[in-house]
Amino acid sequence: MTPQANNTAIIRAVGLTRRFGELTAVENLNLEVPRGEIFGIVGPDGAGKTTTMRLLCGLLDPTEGEAWVTGRNVAHDLDAVKDQIGYMAQRFGLYGDLTVDENMTFYADLFGISKTERANLLPQLLRMTRMEPFRKRLAMNLSGGMKQKLALMCTLLHHPQVLFLDEPTNGVDPVSRRDFWAILYQLVHDGLTVLVTTAYLDEAERCNRVGLMNKGRLIRCESPRALKHTLDETCYEVETTDQRAAREFLQSQPGVLSVEPAGAKLHLFLSPDRVSADTLKEALAARGAAVTDFRRIVPSLEDVFIGLVRKEEAAHAG
């Protein structure tokens, strides 16, 4: 029996899988995103983030599984789905030899937006993105952040219910990234649902919930706050006089899940039922690596993601 769309989830995937020959880009993805949420898919290059988004938008056919967006089956009712979504690809896809105004007018024509409606909508979008001073500038002459704002405005012209953003701030300066996220918060406040992929863990902190992907699999899905307490292992910040030697030694110890550089210090995950922090601290000192700091901390999302990946690798190796 074919599963039915869940009325409480505006985005839903069941067993979604996509293979390219021998490569499985997305494997058995099960996901639900409720209306009015910013949901982030986070992972390294090659994790399957873009493929997942393209499957949900109907730009790729799944090898197995099904997806629903706004209550409609993506495979069976694609035209209706497209009417309800906005999609921003990683690469800037607008016309560089047209101005900001001309690009927006062109897309308004494509979407069949009446002159009366666009007379209200276009100025509203320009104010929201603070792009009013740049209306006559050619798109090719915009900064990276401005190009993304223009792409977002064109994506919003037909009033989508769901916005799919594929690494929208990749290569954008920090100030423009902050401005872009402020716009997203306003859109969600006004009723939009956003699914965004990103390689930036600090951006994941801005999402209501985060799905961590690695090698095509969704390995954990929680709020950023919950994710920081998701591992059984405890996290410590370690500073020694010989960081390299300390890392090599700690990595070889039973009960140590991961040891990663964090600036001038190390972030260490250990299993407290297998090894104690005091034991490791004493062992480091005995090897000549004097410890100047060894304290328990709340891990960052980056720490948690690395820890979860190491845990998966260990489980598969076992």
**Residue 176: pLDDT band with limits 50, 70, 90:** confident
pLDDT of 4 strictly over 50: no
More confident residue, 292 or 313: 292
Sequence ranges of the chain with CATH classification 3.40.50.300: 9-227
pLDDT digits (tens, 9 = 90+) for 226-256: 998 888 899 999 999 899 999 999 999 999 9
CATH number of the 9-227 domain? 3.40.50.300
Nearest to 285 by CA among 234, 257, 245, 236: 245
More confident residue, 200 or 318: 200
pLDDT of 3 strictly over 70: no
Distance CA 256, CA 250 (A): 7
Q: Report domain 234-298's class.
A: alpha beta
What is the model's pTM? Answer: 0.88
Amino acid 318: pLDDT = 60
Sequence ranges of the chain with CATH classification 3.30.70.100: 234-298
Residue 174 C-beta-side C-alpha neighbours within 13 Å: 1
| Tokens standing for residue 126 | 């320009």
